Amino acid sequence: MANNTDILNTLTEIVAEVAGVDSAQVTTEKSFIDDLDIDSLSMVEITVALEDRFAVKFPDDRIAELKTVGETVSYIAAHR
């Protein structure tokens, strides 16, 4: 089972691949929109990749509520 560090590392890889964000910029306190400049289409791609990788479901209304990298890591850890 993946711990929070493993989840963060995987999320970082996915964000870098989907949105072209430098992996060094992806830290738990960063906001997807404000800090990493990720648009809504890229967020959908990221969440689909996370669903596949971690076998967790992100309800559509929940995706909009996950503002930071850390919130997303916590959500995955709690719902796997």
Per-residue pLDDT of the chain (80 residues; tens, 9 = 90+): 689 999 999 999 999 999 999 999 999 999 999 999 999 999 999 999 999 999 999 998 888 889 999 999 999 999 98
59 three-state secondary structure? coil
Exposed (0-12), middle (13-18) or buried (19+): which is 34, by Cβ within 10 Å? exposed
**Known active-site residue 39:** yes
Q: Which of 37, 39, 60, 61 is catalytic?
A: 39
CA-to-CA dists, residue 18 to 1, 39, 44, 75, 79, angstroms: 24, 11, 10, 20, 23
Q: What is the pLDDT of residue 64?
A: 84
Q: Residue 6: its pLDDT value, please?
A: 97
Single pTM value for the model: 0.93
Q: What is the pLDDT of residue 1?
A: 65
With vertex at residue 46, the alpha carbon angle to CA 9 and CA 40, rounded to the nearest 5 degrees, is 135
